[in-house]
Every structure is written in structure tokens, then in C-alpha cells.
Structure 1
Amino acid sequence: MHLRPVAILAVLLLFSLCAGAQVDSSAVEANFSGNTAQYQISPDSLTAPVDYQSRDSMEVDLANQRIHLYGAARVNYESISLQAEHIVLDYGTNLVTAEPYPDTSGVLVGDPQFSDGGQEFTAKNIKYNFKSKKGIVTETVTTQDDVYVRGGKSKFVSGAVQTNDSTRSDVIYTEGAIFTSCSAEHPHFGVRTQKAKVVPNKLAIIGPSNLEIMGVPTPFWLPFGFFPLKSGRSTGLLFPSDYQYSQQWGFGFQGIGWFFPIGEHVNLQVTSDIYLNGTFTLNAASSYRKRYKYSGNFDFSYRRLVEKTSVAENYQDVNNQGFSFGWRHRQDPRAHPTFTFGGSINFQTNQVNQRYLNSYEAASTNVIRSSMNITKSFPALKSTLTAGITHSQNNQTGVINVNFPDARFQTQTIYPLRNLPGSQRAWYKKLSFRYVSELRSEFSGIDTDSTSFFSQQTLDDVRYGFTHRVNTALSLNVLRYFNVSPNASYSETYYGKTLEYFLDESTLETEDIIDENGNPAVDTTSFATIDSRLNPGLAGFRSFNAGVSVSTQLFGTVRLGGRGLFGLKGLRHVMKPSVSIGYVPSYLDARDFISGQPYFIRDNRIDPDRGNPNNFRSPFAGQIFSAPSRSEGNFAASYSISNLFEAKVWNRKDSTDNIVKLFQNIAVSGRYDLAADSLQWSVIRVSGSTSFFKGLTQVNLRASLDPYIAVFDEAQGGAVRLDRTTLREDGVPFQLTNFSGTISTNLTVAKIRQLFQGAEEEYVEDVAEERRQQREEANTLFEETDILSLFEKFSIRHTYNYSLDREVAVVAGQRDTLRFNTVANSIELRGALQLTENWSVNIGQIGYDFTSKRITYPYLSFARDLHCWEMRFSWAPQRNTYQFTIAVKPGTFDFLEVPVNQNRYDGRNLFGT
């Protein structure tokens, strides 16, 4: 006797009911379950066992040859899995029907879910034939990444498409489908098509379609299209991210391009911005990552900006072009124990980022820096080798400096006698030395509209050199309280080019005159000046210095009994004086023993007629490792005194004592030249810093005190020091020449709470974990408990920088004056304001400079979350630029947007500038 496969399944279900069904622990509350593997079935039956289960009940209808499964019903056959709240097995026709079922309140729950080898979709109703592997589904929902495919009535064929040698994919032929990234049951937008072929997790192909917004068809039609539904990376077209119109540039679109997955670990994206007037940009961006090894990204942009001049200049086209390049590489710390490679490179020409981009960071960046290095450590040699490239670029002056190669080899502090026999406290075991060598080349040029950096002149002016030095020191403890440290240092520096000085005859100017005797003569109106040029040739210099330093610490305390005076229980003063004596020989008459090049040349040797014999010029001046010291020998004593003042304050809240730093550091330093015959005392430098209101305000103070008087010298056009002390002339030990200070206040809501609630400062042990927690807190919507919570992410910073300078009287007998100058006085505000769950305001930067009396680059924006859409507006009034967009959130459909914007060139023309 031969039975149909579904009939056999029905008999087995009845048998399992009579025998007592086993509970499948993998299902959720499966009270009815079974398996067909233990029974012999006919040759035309199913080729694999069928697993089945339900939670609530099972009903067998023998008259109609149907079996009903209720409550979390599931049927598994080979790779096919069908789940629903209600499943009907029709063993007379080999059909299985799945549909939702009303709960106790009458609401339909448990939409059918179909899965076949990792391909999944949901629907309102499914009818499927196990033998033909075909079915009819209604209201299917297929999701892949951020794409939702919602179909009407559809035909479903299992395994209809051969994907590869071992895999076949399902196909859904649907009517009235909509493709969207909106997760709502009734999408707010989508592409509506009447016919579509969907291969779940693979591809969707559509016929004539149009854009639908809020259920309303729009006139935007597509003749055909396709949507990749495959996970992972794949080559594909990048739709324009922005369409716009510019009075300067005409119609254009931004961000059109192509995406290329290169291998397993690298992505490449090439896009372009194109406008009708000829303005365009070409952008390339790539990211790469290899787990436990390295990660990084690079970007390249070439921009050609075409703008028209004013009416007075007949609307002439002006082309500004340049490129920018960036590369960031990070090596995983676990990749190699002794070798690292990483850093960042940022380079641009013709200030293209400042011209094209409107962000505060791009507009306010004055200096661009780069550093990419390779570091190799040698544990056995206790040394490290670092080599790479460094770069700096000033956007104000246009000066570019590139150091390549830039290599440095250095040892750790080595104690060569530490392993000798004897006590570890022996003085000779504290002898140490350290060796450092550097190799560097420097390329310099000017970045202008016609960049001259990439020219032969830059190669001709390159400077390169090598230096190495060895330092030795010894640390001794004398009389228990004094640290005595003798030290010595020797260095050699070599350059591939040196300066040659000569008289520039082109600056000599003469005119014919008649002398007092009536004879014709020649009068010199401008004399020849001394100039220099770089000449190739190896030359170097050597330097040596030695000294000894003595340091100690002194403590002073004042204790007040009980709870002290108004909570003040004591004061503590820690003073750390240090005195050092150093010697540097004279190099005025020294020569390089390799090339014979003198270290210094007197002006009268260059210009015998007018040269000053007391003025020296060095062939090594302006080089990358500087020049030798120009003094006639130096034997001087230097001193420094640092001071720390603390107070012990009784805390009423918890009855404990707190240590408060009154002044974090007050330092006094200067020197006395033992070899000089005049002006032995140097200017005394005094500096100090402290903070108030638990770190809200930082104060830094600096002062210069001169023990000698100064007068105005007309020949030099400024003040000069005389060998007459202020103590003898004015009866004071010194006079104030300069006093400056910086007061900086950084105010946040968190710091205000800490100030008034008395929260203690936390000591951070794990910096990485602390930063991770801060990022999580920043991304979490805070609970508004008070008005301050709205401004939780705001910060206000005020900086005040001033100086008090002594101006020497021009006329003898008049008193010097002290002039107060405000160097900088500015306030700036930054932050984000979450008005509601969907409304947010962001202040990227807004400030006011009280010195120049102007607003400093305000940049404002707001955003409105519209579920699957978002509305954004940004405004930079200083550049007169704005951007307003209503667009689909970032994802597959983010090319759908309505942009309204104005670039800085259009905004500038509104004011005729």
C-alpha cells in the first residue's frame, strides 16, 4: 500500500497523540511534537524526515484529510522551515497553509515565516506544496540590511535559481511591491512597482516604477531597476548624495561614483562632484583593516573651482585648482612586540579645503601637520630606531616644510658599571650615559595659486644634515639631603650644504653729481649689502659642555589645632632649589678640521670697508640642527627655585580633611655669568599657575625682572641694558620689564554640578575604559531631571590673555612707562541641545572676540527626526553659506533628498566681495 507523504505525516501525528507526544526542548513550550525518521514509508514519499511541533493543540480532520497545528506551530523539512500561529497540513493535496491566528483579544498574531537555507521572508498567508516546491503568498516582507521589500500577491518557487554548484535560491514573483528602508508597516516612502522578481538575500529586479511618498504616487518614474539584496560588499553604483543649483557653478550633483571591494580587507570608493560651469571635484576614499594586524584609510581629492569675477572685471573666469591627500594608519598593538608603523599624513595645495569646505575645522585650521613613523626597538641593545616623514603647512603664509627622511636612533639610559662586583650603592655604579643620533632632510617651499613647492627650486634649496651626541651623568647623594649630579655632553653635527657670504653688488646705487669744486663726481646712494647662498660641500662642527648641579627639598608647615581657623587646619610649603654650574668653550675662532670651514666669519672679512669686526656670521646659520654657540666661552651658574603651596581644609559634610593646592607651582630661575666682565646677572624669570573652583578656571602667570637699568639706543632702535644695577640707581633690587597672564575658564554642566554638589574628582586608572564610557554616555539620551539637563552637552570657554610691558623712555631724564595690553579676550560656545526626542540643535562654534570686536565663525545646525527621513539645516553666517535638506536617512535610499543650499562663492557675491 502506498500513501501520500502528507497522509503518512497525518497518521504519524495521530500515533504521536495516542502514544503521548515527546516535548522538543529546542522549541518554545512545544507540547506536541514528532518525527518521521523511525517509520517505513513508501517510495513516492518525502525524501527526508519531517519534524513538527505546536504549543497549544493539534486537530485532525479525517473527513477533509487535514491536520491543524495551533500556537507557535513549526514544520521542518530538509532546509525548509515554516513557522506560524496556525498551520494546516492538507495531506490529500500535499499542501501546507500557514496564517496568523487571533489571540484572546481577537488580534491576529503570529505572521508566517518561511526559511529555506538562510533565505527568509514573512507574509500574511502562505500556501506551499512540498512536492512541487511552489507556493502562493500574500503581503510578503523580505528584509536585507536596511531594505524592506513588501509585496502584494506573489508566486513563490523554492530552489528555482542555481546560485552555484551546490546552492539553489528561492524566487518570489510579486505584484504591487514596494521597496523601502522604512520599517513601518505602512512605509512613509518607497519605490512602487507592479511587477518584480525577488531572489531573497540576493537581488530584486523591477519593471516600470515610480516614487511613492506617504502613500501618494509622485511623477518620478523609473523604466526599470534592480536592488541588490546580498549581504557583504559588492561592486556597485553610488547615487549622487546631493543635487543643487549654484549661481556661480550652475546645476550640479555631488557624490556620484562607484564602489569597489578590493580583496577581503580593502574597500575603494571613487566619487565626483560635477557642475555645468566646469567646476568639478574628483574624490577617492579607501579603508582597510586586518584583524589583529592593522587598520587605516586614505582619501584623495582634486578640486577645480571656476568662479566669475565682478561686473567691473567683465565676469572673467578664474580657475582655482589643487588637491588634498590624507592617510591614516594604525598598527594593532598585538601585531608585533618590537616593531610599529603608523601615523597620519595630511597635505593640500592652494588651500582647497578652506576654499571648498564650510566646516569650522576646515575654515579655522591654520597649520596642517603630518607624522608617519616606523619604530623598531632592540631590547638586547636597549635602543630604539625611529624613521619616517614629518610635515607642516601654514595656511596663512603658505610655507610648507617636509622632513624626509627623518630618522633618530637613541639608547635608553645605560649604566655600564652596574654589573661590577661590590655594593649596589657604590657611587661608580650610578654612572650613566645615553647616545642619540639623528639624520634629517628638509624641503621648503611656498604654496600659492601656482604652487612652487613641486619645482626644481625646492630640490635646489633642500637642506640635510646628521648629528650625534653622547651624554653622561652621575647621581650622588651628599650629606643625606643634597643630590649632586655631574654631567658632560659631546656632539658632532655635519651638513651637506653651508652658507657662503658675499657682497651683493646689485644693491650698490650711485648717481653723478658736481662736487664743491665744480668737478663731476660719483655719489654712492646705496652701498652693497652682505648676502648669502647655499653651497654644497660636507662641513661640520663639534661642541662640548660640562657641568654639575646640586638640588634639595625644603619643607615648611603651619598647623592650626582643632578644626582650624574657619576650616583651615594648616598650610604647607615645599621648596625645591637647584643650582648648576656649566662650562662651554669658545668657538669664535674654531674651524672644521675636515673642510677647513670656520665656525664664524667677521663682517669686516666680507666687507673690508664697512664691515663691523664685532659682528659674526656663521656658515651653519639657519640649518636644521642650528649653529654652534657664538659666545666667547661660557662659564656660568644657573639657579631655579620651584614652590608648591598647599592647605589642609576641614570638610563639614563628611568630617574629613581635604588637601587643596593653593599654587601648583611658582618657579624662579636665572643665571650668573662667571666669565663675563659686565652684565653678569641675567633677567630673572618668574612663572606660576593655579586653578580655582575645582578646576573650572586655570590661571598662568609669567614675569620678567631685570636687575639692570635699560635706556633707549637710537642706533639699534630699541632698549639696551647698561652695566648699572637698579639697586644702585633706583634703590630697588630689580625692575619689572614684562608681566603677562592667561586666565582660561571652561564651563560645563558636569563641572557646575561638581562645584555645587561637592563631587570629588575621580582618579582614572584605565584611560581607554574611561573614554569608552564617555562615548557611551554621549550617545545615550539623558533623562531630563532639571533645566540644566538640557544643556548637558554644552561647554563655554573664556580666554583672557594680557601683558604689562615696560616701555623705555626715548628722551633721557623721562620716566619709563608701563603699558597694559590685552592680547586676547574671547568667549566661545559649543554644544548640542536635545529639545525633544526628535528635535536637536547643534552649535558647532559661536564666539565673540572682544579684542577685534567681531563674532568668531558661528556655525549652527538643527535636525528633525522623521522616522525614516530626517530634516537638517546648517548655517555659517560668516561665510554666508547654508544648507537645508529633507532626505532619507543614510542607507540604500539616501539619494532621495530635497536639497536647498548656498555655497560660499554665491554667498560672497551677494555682498560684492
Structure 2
Amino acid sequence: MRTKSVIALLLCVAIFVVAANDTPFAQRKLSRKTTLADSITNADSTRLDTIAAHLADSLEANQPDTTKMDSMQLAIYRHNKAIDDSIHLDSLNRQRANGINSPVQYTANDSLVYDATSKTARLYGQSTVKYENMDLAAEKIHMSIDSSLVHATGAKDPTDTTGHTLTGNPIFTMGSDKYESDTMAFNFKTKKGLISKVYTQQEEGFLQSELSKRNANGDIYLQHGRYTTCDAKHPDFYIALSRAKVRPGKDVVFGPAYLVVADVPLPLAIPYGFFPFTKSYSSGFIMPTYGDESARGFYLRDGGYYFAINDKWDLKLLGEIYTKGSWGVSAASNYNKRYRYSGSFYFSYQDTKNGDKGMPDYTKQTSFKVQWSHRQDSKANPYSSLSASVNFATSSYERNNLNSLYNPQTLTQSTRTSSVSWSTTFSSIGLSLSSTANLSQNMRDSTISMTLPDLNISLSRFYPFKRKHIVGDERWYEKISMSYTGQISNSINTKEDKLMHSNLVKDWRNGWNHNIPISGNFTLFNYINVSPSFNFHDRMYTHKVMQSWDAANQRVQNDTIYGFNNVYDYNFSIGLSTKLYGFFVPNRKIFGDKFQTIRHVITPT
């Protein structure tokens, strides 16, 4: 009991000495990041270290000598010491439960006022407070260390004479959630807060409210809120929410709400609503729309299923059906691989029946539409590239599609063009390939002009007889070089309904063009340069025209013969050249010393 009395007395003396020698307020300029422990000045730390040393010496001096105790006294002493340690540990745990668990880091651009008596701190001028994963920035911040409370507000704008504009409004960030407000109160321990005039973004929408409350789970309860997709502080349109509950990153559930456009409330109200927020794809059914169409009857359309396959591509399957027998299916997909390629694909097929079967006005048509867009990143592959822009539809498709009936631009479109381009290079052998496919479609008379494909082949100059490992002088035949260029073309001009029934040999215009130049460069008698060259040009066709004289009708008769046909020509040339140099010394009497020697060069070829 004497030991406890001495400890209590020394603690009272230490507290009295600290209170007598320290001022209740300490104000200083901040220019670095610090914690609340750094608010104690160096003099305070020195005094505390001295007092702690005196306490340790006093405690050690008043400790009983356990070596002079018998077994009974030693057991009683250890039992009492264990009880004292347990009481002291419980006291520390209670103090820790009422306080905070981690250091609080803060900065203030202007100044800090710390009250040691009430354990509060006031920060002024672009202040920030960081605790665990929470970050608060405001012009003014007031912290209460014992209750773990923090209050943040903005400051009046000196340039505003009315005094209604605030600068440095609180911005609170916790994990991926971010809130902007005029006034904020937050409890570090319970993670609950009260926010005035909050502004936050959830996915593609923005939420505002006059008063908000945040619970420990991160849910926000709004009163007199606004939801809009306009990013302005004062939106042009929004849904006014009387009250709502926001689960960040998940959804918003709200009570009575109405639409406001240009600050004018509209008579469009709903008793309750729900907005989902999701950052991941999810599969699900797509509900169809219903209606009535005079020629095809009642319908269910645009219903199906959405497949969220992964983050790189998805798939949407839709269908439509009519009571008079018409039906259709469509598939749409988007794909994207970062830094490689991206694109979309769409295909639709329709079986349309207009009128009643057996009646004179009954018609049946099948139509389809294909759209493909593909883009490749320029840095994905420096040796190969692929791009596509395909928009093909049968002429009857737009007339039978309900979406096109209400789109005048689609109905008045006269031509459609599609193209696909591909190129690659084999740098090791100097070979380059490039191919294009083009389609031009006239929607008025269903005429189609198609080139599929137009392939170009190029092989850079190479020396076929050159040795890989040269030993000695270069041989004359090693100077022979050659290259190759070729083109394959396949095109057709026809009607839309005849395209799929066309014959590749008889209806398409196709051929293969080859060009092979061979050249060399030699030296004859050490003075004459010899440059022979040989060019071979070859053309391959799938048909030819034989012309003959019709003596009976006195005219030329043309007969088309189908099959493999080859036409070629070649030419050979040789060039010789050399250089002759001469020197002429001019007459001194005529030219004097101005010209020493005149050199002339003759280059005969």
C-alpha cells in the first residue's frame, strides 16, 4: 500500500509541474507532415523525460527486497503485483478503446492551435488530416482527440462581397469513395459522419443533398437530394429525391421523386425508385417490348439474353416474333483487348411475312445485315495490321426493320461502302503482303461492286547466288540480283440477288500478274562497267477471248474460252559505260599563269 501511495503522489507532482510550466495554448507555423505526438514542444519532451527518470528511480527505490522474503510473503507479493498489473492493463485498454488506434497525420498551410487542456487542435489554411485509409482536406479543421471527432468547414471567399461563397470546402476521401461538402463532422473511431450539402459521384451519375448522414458501413442517407448525369454543380436537369439511401458502388434506393428541368418541376413523379451501380459485368435476361404492326400483327421484339463472358468481350442475343408468322434473330458483340485491338460485331436475320397467307397481297422475304468494326493499336504489332469497317445489308432489310422505319436517314441512304485491309511483313526475307476487300452497294437498284480480294506481293531485291560465308574475292555471278512483285485481283459487278449464285470463273473477273526483274553489275577489262538486265512479265487468267473472221457475215466473231490461260513477255538489255580522263595544259602566252591544267572527262555509254 505504501508503494501505491508513493506512485500516486509522484504522478500528481508530475502533472502539477507540467501544468505550471506549460502554457494552455501553443501556436506555431507548420511546414511539414506531422502527428499529434509532434505537437509537444522539445522543452515539454525534456521535462517529461526528466520526470519519467525521477519516477523510475523513485519506484525502483521503493520496491521491496524480495530476497529477504520467505515463501509465504513472496507468494502474497506476486499475487498483489499481478492484480495491480491487471488493473493497469484494463485501464490502458479502456483508454485505448475511447481513443484512436493509429497515428493521425495532419498538415496546415497557415497555422495550428493546440489546446493541451481540452486536447483539441485547430488547423487553418489548406489543411489535411489523414487517418488509416481516410483523408480529409479543408480550409478549417477542428479535431477533438479524446472523442475522435473532427469538424471541417470552408472559409469565406474574400473576393465575394456578399459573403455567401466559401473556398476550401471539405473534401473527404475514404478508399474509393469521395465526397465534397460545405460542412462535415466525422468520427474516426465509429466512422460515422454528418455532412451538409454533399456532392459525390457514383459511376456515371452525380448525387447532391442538403443534409446527409454516413453510417459505419459506408451507407449514406440523404435528405432533399438530387440525382443527375450532368456534371455541373448546378445541373440543368435532375431527379429530386425527398429521401434516399446510397450504398456506394452498389445502388441507390429513394422515396418519392420528381423530374426537374431548368429548375422547373415537371408533373412526372414516382413513389419510389432504384438505381443500380456496378463496376463488373453481369449476365441476365433482356425483357422484350410489345406492340402492334398493321402488316405483321402483334409482336414481341428486342427480348433475349445478355452474356457477360469476361472483361474483354460480351454477347447479346435478341429475338422478335409476330403473330402473322414473321420472326427474326440478332447477335451483337463488343470486344476489347487493351493495347492490342478493339471492335464490335453485329448480325441480324429476318424472315418477314406481310399480309395474310393465301391472299393476293401476301409476301415473304428474307433479309440480313452484317456490321463489323475492328481497330488495331498501332503499337500492338509493327509488322502486321488489320482494320475493318463493314456495313452490308440487303435492300429489303431496312424496309422490314421497325427501327429503320422511324429513321429517315437510313431509308434515304443510297450507297453503302465496306472495306477490310490487312498487311504483314516478313522482315527476315524481305517479303511484304497487303490485301484489301472492298464492297460498294447501291441501295436503289441493288447493284453490288465487290473486290475480294486485291492482294499485292512484294519481295525486295536479293542476291540468290551470294555465299553466306565469303572466302576470297567476290565471284561475278554473286553480283546477280532479282526481285518480285505480284498482284492478284478478283472482282465482280452484279445484282444483289445474283451474288451468292455467281460462278467464280464465268462471272468474276480475276487474274494474277507477275513481274520479275533480274540485273547484275560487272567490270570488264578493269575499265568497262557492264550492266545486263532481264525483265519477265507474266499474266494468268481464267478465261480468254478467241477472235476469228466470220466470212459469211463479214465480221469478227468473239468466242470466250474458260480455263487456265497464261500470257507473258520478256525483254533483255545490256549497258556498257566507262570514264576517260584527260589533261590539257593551256598556252602560257594566251592564258598566262591563271590556268595551270584543265581536266576533262568523257563518259561513253
Same fold (TM over 0.5): yes
The correspondence of residues 203-214 of structure 1 with structure 2, limited to 5 A, is: 203-214=251-262
Are residue 36 (structure 1) and residue 89 (structure 2) matched? no
- C-alpha contact (below 8 Å) 1:442/1:462 kept by paired residues: no
Other-structure match for 1:521: none
Q: CA separation in 1, counterparts of 2:361 and 2:339?
A: 55
Are residue 200 (structure 1) and residue 248 (structure 2) matched? yes
Are residue 113 (structure 1) and residue 171 (structure 2) matched? yes
TM-score relative to the length of structure 1: 0.42
Q: CA separation in 1, counterparts of 2:197 and 2:215?
A: 16
Residue 464 of structure 1 deviates from its aligned partner by 9.0
1:119–1:493 distance in 2 versus 1, CA, 3 Å: same
1:254–1:124 distance in 2 versus 1, CA, 3 Å: farther
Other-structure match for 2:432: 384
Residue 81 of structure 1 deviates from its aligned partner by 1.9
Residue 410 of structure 1 deviates from its aligned partner by 4.1
Other-structure match for 1:328: 373
User: What is the DSSP-based 3-state SS (H/G/I as helix, E as strand, rest coil) of the residue aligned with 1:55?
Assistant: coil
- What's the CA shift string for 1:285-312, capped at 9, x where partnerless? 544333443333334455789999xxxx
Residue 49 of structure 1 deviates from its aligned partner by 0.4
- Amino acid in structure 1 at the alignment position of 2:431: S
- C-alpha contact (below 8 Å) 2:30/2:107 kept by paired residues: no
- What's the CA shift string for 1:755-804, capped at 9, x where partnerless? xxxxxxxxxxxxxxxxxxxxxxxxxxxxxxxxxxxxxxxxxxxxxxxxxx
1:391–1:433 distance in 2 versus 1, CA, 3 Å: farther
User: What is the DSSP-based 3-state SS (H/G/I as helix, E as strand, rest coil) of the residue aligned with 1:151?
Assistant: strand
- C-alpha contact (below 8 Å) 2:367/2:397 kept by paired residues: yes
Residue 198 of structure 1 deviates from its aligned partner by 1.0
Residue 173 of structure 1 deviates from its aligned partner by 1.4
- C-alpha contact (below 8 Å) 2:540/2:565 kept by paired residues: no
- What's the CA shift string for 1:327-372, capped at 9, x where partnerless? 233434433344443444332211646994544997243x634334
1:296–1:458 distance in 2 versus 1, CA, 3 Å: same
Q: CA separation in 1, counterparts of 2:287 and 2:23?
A: 60
Q: CA separation in 1, counterparts of 2:253 and 2:126?
A: 33
Q: CA separation in 1, counterparts of 2:183 and 2:300?
A: 44
The correspondence of residues 775-854 of structure 1 with structure 2, limited to 5 A, is: none
User: What is the DSSP-based 3-state SS (H/G/I as helix, E as strand, rest coil) of the residue aligned with 1:46?
Assistant: coil
1:281–1:56 distance in 2 versus 1, CA, 3 Å: farther
Other-structure match for 2:186: 128
Q: CA separation in 1, counterparts of 2:299 and 2:240?
A: 27
Q: CA separation in 2, counterparts of 1:172 and 1:324?
A: 48
Residue 133 of structure 1 deviates from its aligned partner by 2.0
- Pick the aligned partner of 2:546 from 591, 597, 600: 600
- What's the CA shift string for 1:1-39, capped at 9, x where partnerless? 9xxxxxxxxx9xx999749565226xxxxxxx5433899
- Amino acid in structure 2 at the alignment position of 1:24: R
Are residue 149 (structure 1) and residue 149 (structure 2) matched? no
- Amino acid in structure 1 at the alignment position of 2:109: R
Name the one with the larger helix percent: 2
Other-structure match for 2:560: 618
User: What is the DSSP-based 3-state SS (H/G/I as helix, E as strand, rest coil) of the residue aligned with 1:43?
Assistant: helix
- Pick the aligned partner of 2:138 from 76, 80, 84: 84
The correspondence of residues 631-710 of structure 1 with structure 2, limited to 5 A, is: none
- C-alpha contact (below 8 Å) 2:27/2:111 kept by paired residues: no
Q: CA separation in 2, counterparts of 1:295 and 1:491?
A: 41
Are residue 370 (structure 1) and residue 415 (structure 2) matched? no
- Amino acid in structure 2 at the alignment position of 1:52: Y
Q: CA separation in 2, counterparts of 1:324 and 1:459?
A: 23
Other-structure match for 2:460: 412
- C-alpha contact (below 8 Å) 2:332/2:345 kept by paired residues: yes
RMSD: 5.7
- What's the CA shift string for 1:55-78, capped at 9, x where partnerless? 344445688775443332332211
Q: CA separation in 2, counterparts of 1:109 and 1:278?
A: 67
1:259–1:185 distance in 2 versus 1, CA, 3 Å: farther
Q: CA separation in 1, counterparts of 2:151 and 2:296?
A: 61
Q: CA separation in 1, counterparts of 2:173 and 2:490?
A: 65
Other-structure match for 1:72: 126
Other-structure match for 2:106: 52
- C-alpha contact (below 8 Å) 2:421/2:434 kept by paired residues: no
Other-structure match for 2:266: 218
User: What is the DSSP-based 3-state SS (H/G/I as helix, E as strand, rest coil) of the residue aligned with 2:215?
Assistant: strand
Are residue 191 (structure 1) and residue 266 (structure 2) matched? no
Other-structure match for 1:98: 152
Q: CA separation in 2, counterparts of 1:253 and 1:185?
A: 42
User: What is the DSSP-based 3-state SS (H/G/I as helix, E as strand, rest coil) of the residue aligned with 1:334?
Assistant: coil
Are residue 298 (structure 1) and residue 345 (structure 2) matched? yes
Q: CA separation in 2, counterparts of 1:331 and 1:171?
A: 42
- C-alpha contact (below 8 Å) 1:69/1:88 kept by paired residues: yes
Other-structure match for 2:516: 471
Q: CA separation in 2, counterparts of 1:145 and 1:411?
A: 53
- C-alpha contact (below 8 Å) 1:53/1:73 kept by paired residues: yes
The correspondence of residues 689-768 of structure 1 with structure 2, limited to 5 A, is: none
- Amino acid in structure 1 at the alignment position of 2:96: P
The correspondence of residues 188-267 of structure 1 with structure 2, limited to 5 A, is: 188-229=236-277, 262-266=309-313
Aligned residues: 477
Residue 46 of structure 1 deviates from its aligned partner by 1.2
Q: CA separation in 2, counterparts of 1:91 and 1:378?
A: 70
Residue 619 of structure 1 deviates from its aligned partner by 0.3
Residue 171 of structure 1 deviates from its aligned partner by 0.9
1:260–1:16 distance in 2 versus 1, CA, 3 Å: farther
Residue 180 of structure 1 deviates from its aligned partner by 0.9
1:70–1:253 distance in 2 versus 1, CA, 3 Å: farther
Q: CA separation in 1, counterparts of 2:182 and 2:298?
A: 46
Are residue 345 (structure 1) and residue 390 (structure 2) matched? yes
User: What is the DSSP-based 3-state SS (H/G/I as helix, E as strand, rest coil) of the residue aligned with 1:150?
Assistant: strand
User: What is the DSSP-based 3-state SS (H/G/I as helix, E as strand, rest coil) of the residue aligned with 1:152?
Assistant: strand
User: What is the DSSP-based 3-state SS (H/G/I as helix, E as strand, rest coil) of the residue aligned with 1:371?
Assistant: strand
- C-alpha contact (below 8 Å) 1:600/1:619 kept by paired residues: yes
Report % sequence identity. Answer: 25
Q: CA separation in 1, counterparts of 2:260 and 2:300?
A: 23
- Pick the aligned partner of 1:493 from 540, 544, 556: 540
Q: CA separation in 1, counterparts of 2:249 and 2:23?
A: 39
Q: CA separation in 2, counterparts of 1:156 and 1:491?
A: 81
- C-alpha contact (below 8 Å) 1:238/1:256 kept by paired residues: yes
Residue 378 of structure 1 deviates from its aligned partner by 3.3
User: What is the DSSP-based 3-state SS (H/G/I as helix, E as strand, rest coil) of the residue aligned with 2:96?
Assistant: coil
Residue 628 of structure 1 deviates from its aligned partner by 6.3
1:411–1:58 distance in 2 versus 1, CA, 3 Å: closer
Q: CA separation in 1, counterparts of 2:304 and 2:24?
A: 61
Residue 48 of structure 1 deviates from its aligned partner by 0.3
Q: Bigger radius of gyration, 1 or 2?
A: 2
Q: CA separation in 2, counterparts of 1:339 and 1:352?
A: 35
Q: CA separation in 2, counterparts of 1:346 and 1:49?
A: 62
- Amino acid in structure 2 at the alignment position of 1:294: Y
Residue 275 of structure 1 deviates from its aligned partner by 12
Other-structure match for 1:720: none
Q: CA separation in 2, counterparts of 1:85 and 1:252?
A: 61
Residue 377 of structure 1 deviates from its aligned partner by 3.1
- C-alpha contact (below 8 Å) 2:30/2:110 kept by paired residues: no
Q: CA separation in 2, counterparts of 1:253 and 1:73?
A: 60
Residue 145 of structure 1 deviates from its aligned partner by 4.8
User: What is the DSSP-based 3-state SS (H/G/I as helix, E as strand, rest coil) of the residue aligned with 2:342?
Assistant: strand
1:253–1:110 distance in 2 versus 1, CA, 3 Å: farther
